[in-house]
Structure 1
Amino acid sequence: MSINVEETLSKLSVAQKIKLLAGLGWWHTEPVEEQGIPSMRMSDGPNGVRGTRFFNGVPSSCFPSSTGLGASFDVDLAYKVGVALGEECRAKGCHILLGPTVNTQRSPLGGRSFESFAEDPTLNGLIAAAYINGVQSKGVSATIKHYVANDQEFESERALREIYLKPFQLALKHSNPWALMSSYNRVNGVHVSESSWLLDDILRKEWGFKGLIMSDWIGVYSTAESIKAGVDLEMPGPTVMRGKAVERSLAAQKLFISDIDDRARKVLELLQKAYASGIPFNAPEEGIDTPKLRQLLRESAADSIVLLKNEKNILPLTSESKVKTIAVIGPNAKYAFSSGGGSARLLESYTVTPLQGIEAGAKELGLNVKFTLGATTHKLNPLLDPYISLLDGSGKGALLEFWNESPANGFATANSNLKDDLEPPVWSCTTEVSNCVLLDGVASAYSTVFTPEESGIYELSLTLAGSGNLFFENNLLIDLSTSPAPGDYFMGLGTAEVKTQVQGLKAGQGYKVEVRASNHAYVKQVPIIPNWGGLRIGVVRVVKPEDALQEAIDLAKSCDAEWESEGYDRPDLELPGLSNRLVSGVLKANPNTVVVNQSGSAVTFPWIDEASTALQAFYGGNELGNGIADVLFGKVNPSAKLSLTFPKRLEDVPSYSSYSKGQEHGKVLYNEGVFVGYRGYQVKNLAPMFPFGFGLSYSTFEYSSLKCSDISPEGNFTVSFTIKNTSKIYGREVAQIYVSDNEASLPRPQRELKGFKKVPLEAGESKSVEVSLDREALGFFDERRGEWVAEKGMFSILVGASSEDAKLKGTVELKKSLAWRGL
C-alpha cells in the first residue's frame, strides 16, 4: 500500500488536516481512519529503541552512549549501529526513531552531555550522518535533534553558525534525515519552535531540508507562530496548542488554509516513507537478540574505551603477564551502567557488568579475581535489582499488581494491614527491575523477595511518584504516605529518597519486600506530563567508609593488579563520595593499579599523576563489562580517542564563567563565542588533563609523507600522508586533520578539526591515507555579510594523533576568496 500525498491532502477536510498536526499520546501520530491514514509510531532514543512503554516494555539492545560512539571516531561503526537500531525499530513496529542528538557539548556539566557525540562540530556531524544513513537504510526515519542550542540563551550568530548549527549542517550535507526535532529553548529571545529564521530561513530555505519538523515533548508554546515558523507536528498528544486553537486562529486570519496544508503535507510525506518501508502499523512490539547483534554490541563497547595512560605497559593483561590475581575494587563493578537517563533509558535485553566481564576474561587465562566494595559513591542507593526473586521462587523478579480503585481501606497508607484479604487485581505482571514507571490513576503493589549476598546491616530506600509505603517482612519500614518531601526523580514528579536501615540480615536468606502505592490523589504535577505513578527501591549494605577503604587497600597489597570503576552522571566534575581517596589509597598500596573510570562526560582525576595506567569507559551499553574486559585482556587493541576535552579543573572549562555562573533570569550569554572545547583551551594556552582527540593504543604509529594538493577554484583539495604500524601487533589509528587560518581578518581558533580517518594496520604495515576537504575546511561565518567566507591566503594543515599532537605540518594557499550560503 502507498499514499499519494497531494491527492490525499486534497481529500482531507480542514478538521482532518488540523488533526494531523499533533500527536496521539506520547509515541504516535494521529490517524484519520476515514481517509485511510494510519498512525505512525515513534520511539526513544539515541542509543537504543525503547518502544512505546516506559514500564515493563519489550527488552531492547543498548549501545554505548553517544560520547562513547563519538570517541570511536569510526563512521563505519556508527553506520552499523544505525543499521542495528533500524532493524530493532522494525521489530518494534516503529517508523520514527528519536535520534541522534547532535547538540554541541559546550560544558561537561550538561546533564545530557552523554547524548551528543562530541564537543567538535565536525566529529559530531559526520558521526551523526553515518548513524542517520544506517537507520534510514532500514526504512526508518531518523530524527536529528535538538535544533538548536538546546540548553541556554544565545547571542553571537557567528558562534551559533560555526559551533552549534554546524553539526546539524554537516549531518544534512552528508545524509538526509527525514525528521528533525526543535528544541525547548529560546535563541536570541525567540523560542526555536517559533523561529522562522531558524526553521524556515536557515533550515528549509538555506540548507534545503525537506523533512518533517516535530517539537520536543511539550516544546510548543504557541499556535499561529509555531505553525508559520514551520513546526509540522506538536508532540506529545493530546494537543494543547493546536486543535481548536488552530480553528480559532483561522477564524481570526492569523493562519490560512495554506499554512495548514504546508504542515499537513510534511506529515503525509513522512507517512509516504513509512508505507514504503513496509513496517506494519500498530504492530506488536518484539525484541531482537542474535549472536551477530551481540557481537556488534560488544565491538561497539570495546571501541568506545579510551586508553589514557599505560606508562608501565601493564596492559594488556595476557598469559605472558606476571599477574596471577586481580583485585576488582569499586562499588559499581557489580552494576551495569549501560546508559544515562531520560530519553536514553531503556530495559536492556541483557547486561554484562564489569565484574562479570573481568571474571570471564580472567578465567580464560587462569587468573584469580577478588572483589571488594572500596567505597560507596552513589547519589541514590543502588537498585535492588540484582537481589530480587519472585514470591513463589520461580525465578528472578517481582510481582506487580494493579487496581483501578484501592482494594482495601488504608491500602497504601501507614495504617495498611497486609493481612487483609484484597480484591483481585485488575491486572498483574512480573518485572525484573525495581525502578518502574507505573500507570496513571491506579493503585499498585510491588512484591518481591530480597536475598542479600552478605550478612550485615542494610539500608533500604524508596522514592515514589505518588503516595505509599514500603513494608519489610510485613512491617512498615518507610512511610511516604504522610507529607513526603518533594524530589527530582520521575521527571520532577517524585518524592525525595527516604532511607532506613535494617539490622542483622543474613546472607542467602530471603526477606519479603512490598511497596503499596497509589497516585489517585497525587497533586504534584509537571504541565502536560501524565500523572504516572512510579517507584524506585534501592539497597546497600552499610559499611563504615574508613573500613571499606582499608579493606580495599589491604586487598590491593595482596594482589598483582587492580581495577576500579565509577558510574557517574553528576552536576559537577568531581568523582562522588570517597572515590578519589579510594583511588589514591589503592595507587599507593599497589603501583600496578589499572584505573577504569566510567562516566558519560568529562570528570577530573586529582590522582592522575600517581596512576601509571588509566582508561575512560563511557556508558557502554549491554556489553559494557565484556567491552572493558576485551581491552584489559588484549582481545581488542584500544583505538578510541576522547570526543571531548577532560579538564584539570572545572574552572578551566571555556564556558565556566557563563554556563553555571552569570545567569540572569534564565538568560545566559555564550561569552566564549567560537572558542568552545579544545578551541578555548588553545586560545588561552591552557593545558587540559587530556585533550580532545587523545587516546593511546597497544600499538605505536609513525606518520610521514604529507602532501597537500592545490585548492581548486571551488575550494576543494586533498590531504594525503602515510601511517605505519611500528609495533608487533595489529592496531587502528585515528588520524586527525586540523586546519589553521594563518591570515584571518577575524579572531579564529588556533586549529579546527576538519577531517579524520580510522586506519587499520597489521604489525609493520604502512598505508597511504587520503582525506578530501572542501571550502568548509577553510571558511568562517562573517556576521557582517551574513554568509560564509574563506579568505584568500595561506592555511596550515596539521595531521596527527590529537588536537595537541601534530605529527605532520604543511600549507595550502587559497588564491581567491570564496563566499557562499547553504550547504
Structure 2
Amino acid sequence: MVKTLDVDSLIDQLTLEEKISLLAGNDSWHTVPIPRLGIPSLRVSDGPNGVRGIKFFNGVPSNCFVCGTGLAATFNKSLLKNCGQMMGQEAKARGVHCILGPTCNTARSPLGGRSFESYGEDPVLSGYAAASIVAGIQSEKVSACLKHFVCNDQEDERKAVDTYLTERALREIYMKPFQIALRDAHPNVIMTAYNMIDGEHVSQSKRFLQQILRHEWKFNGAVMSDWFGTYSTKEALDAGLTLEMPGPTRFRQIVQTSHKVYSNEIHTDTIDQNVRDLLNLVNESIKPDIGENIVERENDDPAAEALLRQSGAEAVVLLKNTGILPLDKKTPQKIVILGPNAKVCQDSGGGSASMAARYKITPFEGIVKKVKEGGNKATIEYAIGAHLDKNLPDVADVLVSKGGNSGSISVTFYQHPSGVEDRNELTSFEMTTTKVFLADFKAPKLDPNELLYYADLEAHYKAEESGTYEFGCSCLGSAQLFIDGKLVVDNKTKQVRGEAFFLGMGTREEKSDVQLVKGQTYHIKVEFGTSPTALVAKEFKEPGGVYFGFRLKSTPKDELAKAVQIAKDADTVIVVAGLSKEWESEGFDRPNMDIPGYTNQLIEEVTKVNSNVIIVNQSGSAVTMPWIDKVQAVVHAWFGGNETGNTIADVVFGDYNPSGKLSMTFPKRVEDNPAFLNFGSTNGKVWYGEDVYIGYRFYEKTKTDVLFPFGFGLSYTNFEFSNLKIKPVKSEIHVSVTVKNTGKIKGAEVIQVYVSPVESKIPRPIKELKNFDKVELAPGKSVSVTIPISIKEATSYWDGYKNKWSSDKGTYKVLVGNSSDNILVEGEFETDKSFNWLGL
C-alpha cells in the first residue's frame, strides 16, 4: 500500500532548491525525485493512440490504436472509454504514471500536420471523445494529460506563431473540447500549447492558466509544458505552469531561479503553489502502486487485440457503395490488390503519436487471410502500381541479421569510427527497422551527455529479382552505405540539408543504383556517425540517426502498366491508397489535400479497364478524390493501428457491418475549406478568419457542396428514425427517438442530435451538434434511444459584450439524423428566460 504524501508538511520540509528542482523534468520522461523525503519520480509517456513507453530508440513494442480522428469516427463513448482503460492498463505495464494524451485540438484544416491526432472538426464530438478516453485512463488510477491547451492547430512555426481569433471562436470552438473534458472527466494534468495567442505564449499566460483554467473552470490539477514549450522563468511560474518538460531544465535552473526568489522577483508563495500542484499530482499518480524501476513489457493479452480490432472496425467509414460491397469470400474469383498502402500497415501518423507497433497486419495480409477463412479458391494478385514514399522504404522485413534472424538488422555501437584499431564496442542490438533514431539511446559504457559515437548497421539480402536496385540513405550525422565492401551511397563527405527525421533535422536522401542478381546474397553495411560528425544541420544537439532503404528500380510508367495489365481481367480490383506518416506528421503541415505521387493516376487508369474498382483510403484527414464517380466503392480506414489489415478485411467482406461516421467534412477541394486563406504562419502570425464557421458550420452557412459531410457514413443495412419526443427534465432536455433496422443484417447506427435557434440576436451556424449515441440492432428490431442535452449548452453562445455565455429566451429546433446533412426527424423546445453563465 503506497503511503499518501502529506503535501503541507513536505512544503515546510523542502528546501528552496529542492522545490525548484521539482518544477522541471529530470529527463525526457521523468520528474525529479527527492529521496530524503520519500517523493518519488513520476514517469510519463506519449500516448495519443497508445502507450509508447519511455524510449524512442529500440523501445518495447506497443499496442497501437486507430488514430484520433478514427477513434472519434466510432461515435461510441463507451468504446472510447474502454480504449482509454486499456491504455491505462498498458501504462502500468510500462511503469507510466501519466499518459501524454488525449489530444483534443481542433482539425481546423485538413492540411494540419497533427489533425490525425485530434478528434475532428466539431468541439462537442471532440470534447465527448476526449472525456471518454480520459475517464478510461483514470479509471486505472493512471493520470491523463489533456493537450494542447489551446489553439495548437498547425505545425507551421508552431512555437513562434501568434494566433489571433475572436473570443467567441476561442470559446465556442477551440476551448470547448477542453471545457467538456474537464467538466465530465476531470483530467489530472493539462499540457499547454506551443503557440502564442494575442502576443503571449499560452504556457506563460495568466489569462489562460489562471483566470480561465483555474478560476473560471476550477481546475486544480497540474499544468505541464509541451516538450521545449517553456519560454520564460518568472512569467511561466507566475502563470502556474507547474512543470517544465523535458529535463534537464532550461529555464528553472537552481541558481538563477532561487536568485529571483531571494530578490523578490518571484514570490515564495508562487513557488509553493506550483510545488503543491506537483505533489498533488504525485499523490494521484502513486495510487496504482506501480513501483520504481519497472521493466517495460509488451501487452499480448488477447483482450487487447480484440479491442484494437473492434475499435478499428468501428472507425472505418463506408463512403460510397453501389452494391459491390460486401464481397463474398466464398465465391471463386480473381481479386487484384493494388496500391502503395496494400503491403504496408499504415498504423499511425508521424511524430510523438508514432510508436513501434507490437505487430502489424497489412491490408494485403488481412484480405488474403479472410479469403482463406472462407475456403475460397480465389486467385489473388498484387502490384504496387504507384509509390508513396518520400524516401526509400524501410526494408528490415526482407533482411537477415548477422545472427541469422529474418526481418532484422544488426546494430553495433562504438566509441570510435571505423578504421580505428580498438573501436571500443559500447553495445549491440538486433532491430526490426532500417530507420534508426537515437533520441534517447543509452549505453552502459557511454557518458549520458556524450553526443559523439558511431554505429555499424549490418544485414544480408537475398535478391528476389535480377535488375537495377536503388539504394538510399539519409541521416542526422554522417553515413556511408556499402554493399559487399564497396561504397555505394556517400552521405558523409557530401551532404545537402533535407527533411529526414523528426521536425526535418537531417539530410537529403542520397541515392545510387546497383545491379543485383536474383538468388545471390549481398552483405549490406551502413557506417554511421552521430550528429557532431555532420556537415549540415549542426545546430541540433541530438544524437541523430540514420535511415536506409532500397527497392527494385522502376519508373512510375512501368509500375502503372504492370498494375493495369493484371487488373484487366480481374473480377474485383481493390486499390489501397492514401497517406503515410511521411505525409501526415507532427513537425510539418501538408502542402495540399491531394494524395501524393501517382496514386490518383493509377486509379484513373485502372477504372478504364475494369468497372469493379474498390478504393480503400488510409489517411488521418481529408484527401481529394478526383476519381470518385468512376469507382464502385470507397472505404475510409484512417491510420488503423496494429489491426489495420484485419479491420479493413472485416468491413470489405462483411464480417463487420460498417458504422463509422466522418469526424470531419471532406471538401471537394482544399480551396473550399474555410481556413484556406488563413492557414499557416504569415510573418509569425495566423488569423482564424473563419471565426466560428469551421467545418460543416461553414459549408452549410455558405451552401458549399462537399464531397462527404461531417457525420456521414454508410451501412450494409438501413435504419429508420421516428417518434421523436423532446421532454424537459430539470436543467436538461431529453431527446428520445425510435431507431429501427429495416434491413436484412445486424448493424449499428449513430443518432446525431443538432440544435438550432429559430431566431437569434447574432449570426449563428445553421445547426450545431450537441450530443449523440450509438445503437446496434438486429434486422427488423427497433429501440427507443434517449439522449440528454444540457439546456444551457444547447442554447448558449459566447456574448462578447458581456464576456459570458448567453442563453436567450426563445424557441429552438432539435434536428436528429445520421449525418449533418441528413436530418430525419425534427422538433422544438422553448426556454422561458434568458440568462448568462460562466464555468463548466
TM beyond 0.5: yes
- Matched to 2:638, the amino acid is F
CA contact (8 A) 1:736 1:800 kept: yes
- SS of the equivalent of 1:139 reads coil
Matched-pair contact (CA < 8 Å) for 1:223–1:241: yes
Which SS does the other structure have where 2:360 is aligned?
coil
Match of 2:506 among 466, 479, 494: 494
What letter corresponds to residue 293 of structure 2 in structure 1? N
Q: Distance in 2 between matches of 1:523 and 1:174?
A: 52
Q: Report the equivalent of 1:445.
A: 456
Aligned to 1:702: 720
Give the count of matched residue pairs: 804
- What's the counterpart of residue 734 of structure 1? 750
Q: 1:58: Cα distance to partner? A: 0.7
Residue 648 of structure 2 is aligned to residue 648 of structure 1: no
* Residues 1:742 and 1:452: Cα distance change in structure 2 (over 3 Å): farther
Residues in 2 aligned to 1:598 and 1:797: alpha-carbon distance in whole angstroms: 34
Superposition map of 1:493-572 within 5 A: 493-506=505-518, 508-519=519-530, 520-522=532-534, 530-568=541-579, 569=583, 571=590, 572=592
Q: Secondary structure at the match of 1:558?
A: coil
The whole-number CA distance in structure 1 between the counterparts of 2:397 and 2:337 is: 18
Q: 2-side partners of 1:270 and 1:225: how far apart?
A: 22
Match of 1:631 in 2: 651
Q: Could you tell me which of 814, 836, 840 is aligned with 1:797?
A: 814
Quote how far apart the aligned CAs of 1:377 are.
2.6
1:759 counterpart = 2:758: no
Q: Which amino acid aligns with 1:460?
A: F
Using the TM superposition, give the Cα deviation of residue 6 of structure 1 relative to its aligned residue in structure 2, in angstroms. 1.4
| Amino acid in structure 1 at the alignment position of 2:716 | Y
- Over 3 Å counting, the alpha-carbon distance change for 1:453 and 1:45 in structure 2 is farther
Structure 1 contact 317–323 (Cα < 8 Å) conserved: no
Residue from 50, 53, 63 that aligns with 1:51: 53
Partner SS for 2:386: coil
Q: Which residue in the other structure is 2:42 paired with?
A: 40
Q: Which residue of 2 aligns with 1:478?
A: 489
- DSSP-derived class of the 1:448 partner: strand
Measure the CA separation in 1 of the matches of 2:422 and 2:335. 52
Give the match for residue 594 of structure 2: 574
* Equivalent residue, structure 2, for 1:149: 151
Cα distance, 1:669–1:394 mapped onto 2, change above 3 Å: closer
Is the 1:84–1:293 Cα contact (8 Å) retained in structure 2? yes
The question of whether the paired residues in 1 share the 8 Å contact of 2:480 and 2:492 is answered with yes
Match of 2:73 in 1: 71
Amino acid at match of 1:749: P
The residue number in structure 2 matching 1:812 is 829
Q: Distance in 2 between matches of 1:822 and 1:462?
A: 54
The separation in 2 between residues aligned to 1:747 and 1:393, in whole angstroms, is 68
* Contact 1:711–1:812 (8 Å) recurs in 2: no
Correspondences of 1:353-752 after superposition (within 5 Å) = 353-365=362-374, 366=376, 367-409=378-420, 423-438=423-438, 439=441, 440-491=451-502, 492-506=504-518, 508-519=519-530, 520-522=532-534, 530-568=541-579, 569=583, 571=590, 572-660=592-680, 663-710=681-728, 712=730, 714=731, 716-752=732-768
Alignment-derived partner of residue 158 in structure 2: none
8 A Cα contact 2:578 2:595, kept in partner: no
1:188 and 1:505 mapped to 2: Cα distance? 62
- Distance of 1:330 and 1:58 partners within structure 2: 30
Q: 1:223 aligns with which of 221, 233, 255?
A: 233
Distance in 2 separating the partners of 1:426 and 1:664: 47
Inter-partner Cα distance in structure 1 for 2:423 and 2:534: 22
Q: CA deviation at 1:524?
A: 5.7
Q: CA deviation at 1:178?
A: 0.6
Quote the Cα distance in structure 2 between the aligned partners of 1:747 and 1:454. 65
Measure, in 2, the Cα distance between the counterparts of 1:514 and 1:83: 43
User: Which deviations, in whole Å up to 9, do the C-alpha atoms of 1:520-566 show, x marking residues without a partner?
Assistant: 43476687x64222111122222222222122122112111111112
Moved more, 514-523 or 68-77: 514-523
Measured after TM superposition, the shift of residue 453 of structure 1 is 3.5
Match of 1:106 in 2: 108
- Of the structure 1 ranges 274-283 and 607-616, higher mean CA displacement relative to structure 2 is found in 274-283
Question: CA offsets, 1:103-144, max 9 Å, x none?
Answer: 000001011110001110011010111101111111111100
- Equivalent-residue separation in structure 1 for 2:94 and 2:528 (angstroms): 30
1: distance between equivalents of 2:332 and 2:212?
Answer: 59
| Equivalent of residue 335 in structure 2, options 319, 326, 333 | 326
Q: Partner letter of residue 718 of structure 2?
A: T
Which ranges of structure 1 fall in alignment gaps of 5 or more residues? 410-420
CA distance in 2, matches of 1:350, 1:654: 39
Q: Provide Cα deviations, 1:201-224, integer angstroms capped at 9, x if missing partner.
A: 111111111111000000010011
Q: Is residue 307 from structure 1 mapped to residue 318 from structure 2 by the alignment?
A: yes
Q: Relative to structure 1, is the Cα distance of residues 526 and 21 closer, same or farther in structure 2, using a 3 angstrom cutoff?
A: farther
Q: Structure 1 residues 224, 525: closer, same or farther in 2, change over 3 A?
A: farther
Q: Measure the CA separation in 2 of the matches of 1:119 and 1:682.
A: 14
Q: Is the CA contact 1:378–1:576 (under 8 Å) kept in the aligned structure 2?
A: no
Residues 741, 780 of structure 2: 8 Å contact kept? yes
- 2:788 aligns with 772
Secondary structure of 1:694 counterpart: coil
SS at match of 1:287: coil
- Out of 321, 345, 348, the position equivalent to 1:339 is 348
Distance 2:428 2:774 in 1: 51
CA distance in 1, matches of 2:764, 2:463: 59
Amino acid at match of 2:342: A
Q: Deviations over 1:558-615 (max 9, x none)?
A: 1111111124135111111111111111122211111101111110000101122111
The one-letter code of the counterpart of 2:409 is: A
Q: CA deviation at 1:711?
A: 7.0
Task: Say whether the 8 Å CA contact 1:493–1:526 is kept in structure 2.
Answer: no
> 1:407, 1:422 within 8 Å by CA — same for their partners in 2?
no
Query: Structure 1 residues 20 and 319, CA, compared in 2 at 3 Å: closer, same or farther?
Result: closer
Query: Secondary structure of the equivalent of 2:533?
Result: coil
CA distance in 1, matches of 2:577, 2:520: 29
User: Corresponding residue for 2:448?
Assistant: none
How do residues 154-193 of structure 1 correspond to structure 2 at under 5 angstroms?
154-193=164-203
Kept after mapping to 1: 8 A contact 2:75/2:661? yes
Distance 1:261 1:83 in 2: 33
The aligned counterpart of 1:416 is none
Q: For 2:36 and 2:578, how far apart are their aligned partners in 1?
A: 51
Q: Is the 8 A contact 2:496 2:536 kept in 1?
A: no
RMSD: 1.5
Matched position secondary structure for 2:827? strand
Q: Specify which of 132, 135, 138 is matched with residue 133 of structure 1.
A: 135
Q: Which moved more, 1:274-283 or 1:575-584?
A: 274-283
Sort the Cα spacing of 1:791 and 1:573 in 2 relative to 1 into closer, same or farther, 3 A: same
Question: For residues 606 and 746 of structure 1, do their structure 2 counterparts lie closer, same or farther at Cα, with a shift above 3 Å needed?
Answer: same
Query: How far apart, CA to CA, are the structure 1 residues paired with 2:117 and 2:485?
Result: 42
SS at match of 1:94: coil
Please say which of residues 107-116 and 29-38 is displaced more in the overlay: 29-38
Q: Structure 1 residue 206 and structure 2 residue 216: aligned?
A: yes
- Cα pair 1:441 1:533 within 8 Å, conserved: no
558-567 or 453-462: bigger deviation: 453-462
Q: Distance in 1 between matches of 2:778 and 2:128?
A: 26
In the alignment, is the contact (CA less than 8 A) between 1:54 and 1:437 conserved in 2? Answer: yes
Q: Is the Cα contact below 8 Å between 2:740 and 2:782 reproduced in 1?
A: yes
